[in-house]
Structures are given as C-alpha cells and as structure tokens.
Amino acid sequence: MRSISCLLLCLITLSVTAQKKNESYQLHMRKASSAIKIDGIADEQAWHDADSVSDFYMILPMDTSFAKVRTDVKMTYDQQNIYLLVINYNGAPGPYMVESLRRDFSFLKNDNFLLFMDPFDDQTNGFSFGANAAGAQWDGLMYDGGKVDLSWDNKWRSMVKNYPDKWIFEAVIPFKTIRYKKGITRWGINFGRNDLKTTEKSSWAPVPRQFPSASLAYTGVLVWDAPPPDPGTNISLIPYVLGGINKDYTNGKPEKWRGDAGLDAKIAVTSSLNLDLTVNPDFSQVDVDKQVTNLDRFELFFPERRQFFLENGDQFTNFGYSTIRPFFSRRIGLGVPIHFGARLSGKLDKNWRLGLMNMQTGGQTETALPAQNFTVAALQRKVFARSNFGFIFINKESIHYNPNDVEAGKPVYSRFNRNFGLEYNLASANNFWTGKAMLLKSFSPGTRGKDWVHAANLQYTSRNWNIGWQHEYVGSNYKAEVGYVPRTGYIKLAPQVTRLFFPKSGALLSHGPQLTSTNFFTEKMDRTDNELMLNYGLVFRARNTLNVWASTTYIKLLQPFDPLNYNNQHLLATGTEHSWQTLGADYVSKPQSLFTYSLSARYGGYYADGERLTLGGEFGYRFQPYVSIALSSTYNNLRLPQPWGREDFWLVGPRLDVTMTNTLFFTGFMQYNEQLKNINLNTRFQWRYRPASDLFIVYTDNYLPEPFYVKNRALVVKLVYWLNL
C-alpha cells in the first residue's frame, strides 16, 4: 500500500497546473443573420457575416510551422441549431482519397475534416462531428481528454460538395443532440484536417505531434455572443418493431418465428443531464465481433457495441484498466433477455459528473439462470486542470435465489456480487503527464480476505520520450461478475520506455526503440510470468509504418493449460515452467493507395519446448467511394511434442462494404475459424431513411466446415424510428 500512496501523491502533485494552453485561439460566434440551407453552397448572408478562422497549424509531418493546405472554418447558430461551414482547399492536384461512404470512417485513411467540441470547457469530455471528402459522416463521444467513441450515434445533418479547387462541408447540429451547461458562453473547440495527397495533418489550435488532434488539452475557445439558447423540451422516443425467423439444424429443432417490439427514450433532465430508458431492447443489428485465434490462457475482450450502453458510458466502463474492469456492460444480457433498464448520466456542473444505471434481465431455463438485477452508480469530481477523482458501486443481484440450484456441487449462479471502487485520474494541463491510482473491493457470499485490488500507473509523454510505470495487485478472492478481470491472485510490474528520433529530411518521419518489461508474481512474490520486449518502430513520411521486435518469455503455469486451447484432453500440468524467444515484424502500407495492406509475422518458441509461426495480413481495395473489399487472414503453425504434435489454425475473414449513398449501406462479412471449427456468414442491409432512423435486414449463417453442413441460420428485419417531442 505504501507504493500506491507514494504514486498517488506524485499524481496529485503533477496535476496542479491550470493554464489552458491555447487560450489566445478564439472563434467568436454570432447568431445567424439569415436562414441557412445545408447544401454545401456557401451563398447565404449568414455565412458572409460570420467570423472565419484559418491559418491552421501543421501536426504532421512536423509541428513547427503553419499548415501548407488551407482550411477556412465558420460557425453560427439560431434558436435550434449550431451551423458549421468548412472550406477545404486542395493541397495538390488529383482526386480526393476516401475509403467509402461508410459512417464513422478511419481518420488516417480518408481526406477529412473533424470538429472537436468541449461544451463544458473542462478539457475532458465532449463531442466530435465531421465528414470525409465524399460526404461520409463521423460522430462520436469524446472522453479521457482525447479519445472518441464512434459507436455513439445521434441526429444531425450534413452535406459535402466538391469543386475543382476545394471541397465544402456544411453541417447543422441541433442543440438537442448534444449536452451542455446552460449559461456558459465559452466552449472548448478545435478543428482537425487530414489531407492524404500532401500527407499533412493539421489543426486550428496547435497540437504537439505526439498527441492526437482530438486532444482536448489543446482546444481553442468558441466565444458565444450570448449564452446558448435553452433547447426546451428535449424528449426523444425511439421505438422499434422487428420480425424474424431462425432454425437450429444442430439440434433438429423446427423453424422459430419471432415478432417483437420495444422502445428507447431519451429525456433531457437538464441541458447537460440525460435520462435514458429502454423496454425490451433488441441488438440484432449490431455488427458481429471480429474473431481471433485464441492461444491465450485467459478470456479475450470484445468491446461493447450496443447503443444504449454508450452515451457517457466511459464513466462506467473506463473505471480501472484494460484487464481490471469492475464493470463491463457486455455481462448484462449474456444469454438472457433484458426486460427494461434506465440510466441517468451527464454533468451536474462543470466539476461534477453523475452516472446511475439499473437493468433488469429475465431468467433462462436452458442455462438455469434466474432473473437478475444490475445496479451501477458512478460519481466523478474534476480537480485541478484536467484531473478527477472517481467513485463506483456495482451490484448484481439474483432474483428469487435458490441455493438448491447446483451443478457439479457448486451453485450455477451467485446470490449477489458487489464492487466498490475509488480512483484518481491524472491528466496534466499540457497532457505530458497522465496516470491513474485505483482501489477496488468486492463482496461475495462466503468470501473474506484477498478480495482487494490496488493499482497505479504514471506516464510521461514528450516529443522524444515516452516513459511509463504500472503496477497492479489483484487478490485471489477478488470477484467482478459484472466486470472483465481475466486473471486474479497476482502482482504485476510493467515499466516501459520509448525514444523517438526525427530526421530533418529523407523518407523517414520518425524512428526509435521501445523497451517494455511485463512481470507477474504470486501474492507471495513468486515469479510466474516475465516478458521482455524490444521493439524498433519506423514511421515514413508517406504514413506507412514498420515495426520489428524481439522478445523473451518465461511462464510458470498456475493451473492446467491446453496449448492448443481447443483439445482439453492433453493439458500441461500446474507448476511446469516454460521459456522461449520470439522474433516478429509488422508493416502497414501507406493509406493513399487504392490498394492497402498490412502484414505481420512472428516466429519463435512455444509451450513444452514447441515452436510457433504466425503469419497475418489484411488486404483492402476500394472503388471509391462506393465499394470497399477487404480480406483479413491469420495462419498459426504450432509444432509441439506428443501427444499434441503439429497443428495448423487458419482464420480467414473476407468483407464487402457497398455504400450506395451515405444513407444506404450493405455489408457482407464471412469468418472461417479453424480453431472453433465454424464458418460464420453475416450480411446486413441498412437504410437510414431519416436522421438516426433505420431499416435493417440482417441474415446470419453458421456452418460446420468438415463435414460441411448448416448449424443454424437466422433472418431479422428491424425498423427503428427516432421521434423528437
């Protein structure tokens, strides 16, 4: 506990700097002097009268000069909406470069413009809107001072129009779409531009090259001529209806028809605090997870994609670390239906954030699970420039718990599981210092002692150096049944250091080594895992990248493990020790080409003195902006002594994206997983017939590869309508 106390004191000390970095960059916004039509034509009087900013600063290739590619931005507003006009001048002759018209595109693979909006001017949370040069929209929630969650979706409109010397992006964002504190006349704001033809990334308010252009620590100021108008009654009803059919061929069951309906509601309690309600939600239209070959000893993590859990979801899901998450929303509704739920989330004022959520699931006879209730409460207090203290409480309660429901001598579910947590998040004013210190405790029936977690990290990021330290302790009796904690009963120490060099000329933009060491110990400080890795990274001016690395690994197993992770008849024994060395390389091609690809390879040892060769690749070709074809593939060759012998695992995933317009999409995605002995086919048609209102047609097949036959298949048609009251 002494180490975490010292690091906490260090984190707090580094927080005490408060001056906003880009205070002098100000855009004054006045009320529109005329009506505005969103058509990509800047011919309204309101745009003629609006203030304009340009003179963007270059972030890449170098952050020491003005951008060479010109960008002009204007903003105005009326009683209902914010309006944005962006004139993106061409930096070089030739057509623009985009992936497709698919929503929420990849920033680095498209000519695009993005708006980063911080309505509380707290440099931590906000909204992002934008478009690529073909008109595909981008929208997301901003959190942690510079990250963007693109799963968020809401109502707004935009238009992109191309001219010989420029492309114009015009957008309207309703006040009801965003959250902001009433009466505040200074918002954080920044604008980012990516121009692939010149390989230039730029921003209006300057951002150091080691940080993303989305970094809210470096926003300028949007100065309103009057407080933003009250959005008034802000209630949205989002009903859905669906019909579908599925058939289980494996168990010989007849076709099962399905008809369903449900409702989501969004109610603005204040302009910055929102109440979300859901009754009988359905998530059949959500993208399928991208599969991986699992050769790890622990559970894999797949991100949340369901809309209901996303807005302000960072306050719940970002508590902790990537492998110590006391709350993971995908645990809710796992194998059982969600009957209803409610979430109150948002800002109480500039310094306080609140999150309350309650979800009720039904029981499932086949899995012997009862109805369960999930309650989560989170409270966050901003301190100093950009840091905060956070509290979280999580409760999972089984309704009508029956201790006689047993399987193999153990209850198939627990009566309850609770977690309490405190954390301090450091983010210095200039973003050079970041870190976290955390304490967690779980409560479960019959468990006492060793049910604590404490962890902390501190990271320094400058232009040339990235130095970090992280340590973790997770007790052997700690349980987070609504979280993601794949490993317990350990102490972890993980230092890392990176040094970057920046040549003044030549093909290389930057290069440098990175050294990381990851060490695991038992609670008695006996070593169980160690990996030491040296990586050398090269970033080219054309944006292609190359990384070569070498590592040495030691593992002492604490429980039996199948090194093939699919044949449990042959297991390595507890207490056996394994060590090996590995070499690897990863290459990503430049994004300007119509044909793009990435390649990866690793070769080295494996468990039981075996050998492992892994080859991977992703290949894509675009017929811009309408069609994008991609193929991802991974091959694992494992050579082990008997009784395992040699094993090959293929994972192949071709994908087709057809974007007929920026409101009409078709996606076909197939995945062949040799380890799971499964072929999955998922096709999805989406028509956004009005903002945030969609028609989905989703077809799914699962096949057994050898002998080839259908395991199950399903067809769902779903209609969603967004109604503002």
What CATH number is attached to the domain comprising 59?
A: 2.60.40.1190
- Give the total number of structural domains in the chain: 1
What residues contact residue 116 under an 8 Å CB cut-off, 6+ apart? 126, 128, 142, 188, 189, 190, 191, 192, 213, 214, 216, 219
Indicate the SS3 state at residue 6: helix
Indicate the SS3 state at residue 13: helix
pLDDT, one tens digit per residue, over 58-117 is: 999 888 899 999 999 999 999 999 999 999 999 888 888 998 898 888 888 899 999 999
3-state helix, strand, coil in the chain (%, to 5): 5, 55, 40
Evaluate whether residue 518 is within a structural domain.
no
> What residues form DSSP beta bridges with 657?
628, 667
Cβ proximity of 291 and 300 under 8 Å: no
CA distance 348 to 109: 38
CA distance 442 to 460: 31
Q: Which structural domain range is residue 164 located in?
A: 31-224
Evaluate whether residue 198 is within a structural domain.
yes
pLDDT of residue 20: 67
R_g (Cα) of the chain, nearest Å: 26
What residues contact residue 49 under an 8 Å CB cut-off, 6+ apart? 30, 33, 76
What residues contact residue 408 under an 8 Å CB cut-off, 6+ apart? none
What residues contact residue 175 under an 8 Å CB cut-off, 6+ apart? 80, 81, 82, 228, 229, 231, 271
For residue 32, the 8-state DSSP code is -
Q: Please name the helix (run of DSSP H) or strand (run of DSSP E) that holds residue 646, with its range, or none.
A: strand 646-661
What residues contact residue 688 under an 8 Å CB cut-off, 6+ apart? 663, 664, 694
CA distance 456 to 565: 32
Cβ proximity of 393 and 420 under 8 Å: yes
CA end-to-end distance (rounded Å), the chain: 53
Q: Which segments in the chain show pLDDT lower than 50?
A: 1, 17-18, 408-409
pLDDT, one tens digit per residue, over 108-159 is: 889 999 999 999 888 888 999 999 999 999 999 998 888 998 888 889 999 9
What residues contact residue 246 under an 8 Å CB cut-off, 6+ apart? 255, 256, 258, 712, 713, 714, 715
CA distance 665 to 94: 27
Measuring CA to CA, which residue among 684, 713, 710 is closest to residue 283? 684
CB-neighbour burial class of residue 123 (10 A; exposed 0-12, middle 13-18, buried 19+): buried
pLDDT of residue 11: 55
pLDDT of residue 102: 87
pLDDT of residue 712: 93
pLDDT of residue 94: 84
Evaluate whether residue 66 is within a structural domain.
yes
Tokens of 417: 């599981």
Tokens of 263: 């409702």
Tokens of 576: 């056996």
Measuring CA to CA, which residue among 596, 590, 582, 509 is closest to residue 549? 582
CA distance 668 to 660: 14
Residue-wise burial string across 292-301, b where 16 or more C-beta atoms lie within 10 A, e elsewhere: ebbbebeeee
Measuring CA to CA, which residue among 185, 2, 165 is closest to residue 89? 165
Measuring CA to CA, which residue among 285, 318, 19 is closest to residue 142? 318
What residues contact residue 340 under an 8 Å CB cut-off, 6+ apart? 277, 278, 279, 280, 359, 360
Name the amino acid, one letter, at 295: L
* Dihedral angle, C-alpha 379, 382, 388, 392, nearest 10 °: 0
CA distance 37 to 35: 7
pLDDT of residue 10: 58
CA 266 from chain centre, in angstroms, equals 22
Evaluate whether residue 615 is within a structural domain.
no
pLDDT of residue 219: 95
Indicate the SS3 state at residue 453: strand
